[in-house]
A and B are shown apart, each in its own frame.
Chain A
Amino acid sequence: MKTAYEIVTAARSKDRQTGLEFIEHVFKGFIELHGDRRYADDPSVVGGLACLDDTPFTVIATEKGRDTKSRIRRNFGMAHPEGYRKALRLMKQAEKFGRPIVCFVDTSGAYPGIAAEERGQGQAIAESITEMMGLKVPVLSVLIGEGGSGGALALAVADEVWMLENASYSVIAPESCANILWRDTDKAAEAAENLKLTAKDAYRLGVVERIISERGGDTELMYVSLASDIRSWYQKMRIFSGEELTQTRYGRFRKLGVPGSEQ
C-alpha cells in the first residue's frame, strides 16, 4: 500500500500519461478546437471533438506536456482564465448539439500569475463551476494525475467523477499546507496523509464514484478498459433528460459535507 505522499509523487511523475494522450488513446479521430473567443488560446487546456465507437463526444483535458519544450509551452498544465473559458465554450457547444462531455483533469492548479489574476482567474473558475452545474448533457470527469484545488474542480463539476488509483485530489498542495500550518515544508507527507487526497479517501467521502485501476502500469490495457467504462457510463446516462441530469448533478454535490451525515 502506498502512502498518501507516495501517491502525490506518483500523480506528479513526469512519466505519467498526459491528458492529450488519454484523449488520443481512449477516443478516436480527435479534432482539436482552439481559443476562448475572448482573448487567447490557452495551450494548458486542450479540447475538441472525438468519437467513442460512432458516438461523437466533446473531450477536454488539461495538458502538462511530455518534454521540456512542450511542458513550457503548456505552462506545466497550469491554466490561465482563457483555458477555463475555452473549456466552457466547448462544453456549451456540446450542450447545443446534445453531445456528452468527458474531461481529463491533471493540473497542480490554476496558474498563479499576474496576468492570470488580472484577467479574472477567480471569475473564470467560478463561471465554469456554475455553468457546468447547469449543463443539459451528460458530463464525466476523470482525474488522471494531479487534481489541484479550484483549478481542477473547475473541470470536475460532473455527473460522475472518476479517479485513477494513483491520482490525487486536494484542496491545497501538501507542501503549501505544511508551510501554512507548521511553517515546515518537510512535513508535506504528514499534511498529505491528513488532507484526504487519495482516490480511496475521495471514494470513501463520496467525492468520486469510481477508482480506475492502472492495471499495474499496462497503459494499453488501462485505456481499453477505461474506454469500455465510459461506453457503459454513456449508455446509462443517455436516457436522462437535461432536467433530470442537472437535478441529479446538483444533488450529487449538495450532499457533500452535510452536518450529521457521517462521512
Chain B
Amino acid sequence: MALEAFFKKPKNELEKGGRLPPAKAETAYEMSEKCPSCGHDIPLSFLWDNLHVCRCGRCFRMNARQRIRFMADKGSFTELWGDLESTDLLNFPGYKSKLESTISSAREKEAVICGEATIGGAACALFVMEPYFMMGSMGTIVGEKITRLFEYATEKRLPVVGCTVSGGARMQEGILSLMQMAKTSGAVKRHSDSGLLYITVITDPTTGGVTASFAMEGDIIIAEPGATIGFAGARLVEQTVRKKLPQGFQKAETMLEHGFIDMILPRNEQKRVIGTLLSMHIQI
C-alpha cells in the first residue's frame, strides 16, 4: 500500500499534502505575514486593522504600545517611570551592546511599560510587557517598575491590570534577576492584602520566572487563545522526559482545563470584560 502510494501521481494539492494552497495576498505588492496556525499569508494591513489577530483567530504578537492603545480608553494612559533603563550591573559579556541594540530596535527602554489609565471608564494601574524587548525578560528594572506600580496602586487604592509576555528571568543580570520574583510577589501580596483587585492577561508566551511570580498571582487570570503558559521551557521538558509532548502542552486551553486560569478571551473582547470586571470592583 505504501509502495503504491509512492508511485501514484497526486492529482491535486489536497492529495499531495492535504494542505490548502495559501490564500493570495490581497494586493499584489502588499507585505504579508504567514500565520503559523492556518498557514495563510495575512496582509499586514489586515493585521493592523484587526488587533493583530488572523482570520483563523490566531493572536499575533503585539508590541506593548499597540496593546495599551487598544486596552486603555483613548488618551487616558499616563506613563510612569518611563525613563528607567537597565544597566549592565554585573558586567555580563555582551549585555551592554545587547541592551543598546535592543533599545534602538524596539524603541523602548525596557521590557515593561507601566502607567495609570482608565479601561471602560474605570481607573486602574496598568502594566504591559514588551515582547520585542529581549522577549519580555525580567531583569532588575522590570522587577522594579512592576513593584513600584503595585506600591503606587496600593497607595492610591487602584486595581492593577497587567499583560504578561516573557521568556522568564533575564540571565544577564544573574542572581539579582531571580530576586525580582520575590520582590514583585511581595508587592502583589501587599496590594492584595489591602483588598484591591489584580487582573492578569497572559499572552503568548509567558514562561519561567514571570509565570512563577506575578503572572499567576492575579485574582482573575485571563489568557489569550493559544498562548503558551508554563514554567519550564517545552524543549527542556522534552529533553528531560524523552517523550513527545502531548497535544496542547502548556497551551491556554489546557491550562483552563486544569483549572489554572479563569478564562480565555479573544483580543476584541478583552477590553469590554476587563472594564466590566473593574466596574464591579469599584469601592465606595
Contact = CB atoms under 8 A, between A and B. Distances in A.
Contact of B140 (A129, A157, A169, A259): A259
A133 interface: yes
Interface string A21-43: 00000000000000000000000
Interface stretch (A60-68, A106-114, A233-241): A106-114
A150 B183 contact: no
A123 B84 contact: no
Contact of B177 (A116, A171, A181, A194): A171
A211 interface: no
Contact of B216 (A123, A170, A263): A123
Nearest to B213: A126
Contacts of B236: 112, 176
Contacts of A181: 94, 171
B217 interface: yes
A154 B190 CA distance: 18
A98 interface: no
Interface in B18-36: none
A250 B240 CA distance: 35
Contacts of A157: 182, 185
Interface in B155-186: 169, 171, 173-183, 185-186
Interface in A100-128: 110-114, 116-123, 125-127
Given A118-B258, A130-B189, A259 B144 contact: yes
A10 interface: no
B75 interface: no
A125 B169 CA distance: 14
Interface in A149-186: 149-150, 153-154, 157, 169-172, 176-177, 180-181
Contacts of A89: none
Contacts of A126: 185, 211-217
A111 B231 CA distance: 10
A189 to B, nearest CB: 13
B193 interface: yes
A150 B229 CA distance: 16
Residue of B139, B216, B229, B254 with highest tally of chain A CB at under 10 A: B216
B254 A263 contact: no
A253 B186 contact: yes
Nearest to B180: A257
Contact of A196 (B90, B193, B216): B90
Contacts of B176: 196, 205, 207, 256-257, 263
Contacts of A150: 169, 178, 181, 208-209, 212-213, 231
B238 to A, nearest CB: 9
A123 B171 contact: no
B188 A130 contact: yes
The main secondary structure of chain B at its interface with chain A is helix
Nearest to B98: A181
A205 B182 CA distance: 15
B211 A122 contact: yes
A114 B179 contact: no
Interface stretch (B2-10, B100-108, B241-249, B270-278): B241-249
Interface centre among A134, A157, A171, A176 (most CB of B within 10 A): A171
Interface in B198-232: 208-209, 211-217, 229-232
B240 A130 contact: no
B263 interface: no
Contacts of B215: 122, 126
Given A134-B189, A205-B175, A121 B254 contact: no
A194 B175 contact: no
A114 B237 contact: yes
Contacts of B174: 170-171, 194-197, 201
A245 to B, nearest CB: 13
Given A194-B92, A257-B180, A133 B243 contact: no
B265 interface: no
Given A153-B181, A254-B183, 15 more contacts: A120-B216, A122-B215, A126-B213, A126-B216, A127-B217, A129-B213, A149-B169, A169-B175, A170-B175, A171-B169, A181-B94, A195-B171, A253-B182, A256-B182, A257-B144
Which 4 pairs, one residue from A and one from B, show the smallest C-beta to C-beta distance? Answer: A257-B140, A112-B232, A122-B211, A122-B231
Interface of A: 110-114, 116-123, 125-127, 129-130, 133-134, 149-150, 153-154, 157, 169-172, 176-177, 180-181, 190, 194-197, 201-202, 205, 207, 249-250, 253-254, 256-259, 263
Interface of B: 84, 87, 89-94, 139-141, 143-144, 147, 169, 171, 173-183, 185-190, 193, 208-209, 211-217, 229-233, 236-237, 240-241, 243, 245-246, 249-250, 254, 258, 260
23 contacts: A113-B241, A114-B249, A117-B249, A118-B258, A119-B258, A122-B212, A122-B215, A129-B185, A130-B217, A149-B209, A150-B231, A153-B181, A171-B177, A171-B209, A172-B171, A195-B171, A202-B175, A207-B175, A253-B179, A253-B183, A257-B140, A259-B144, A263-B90
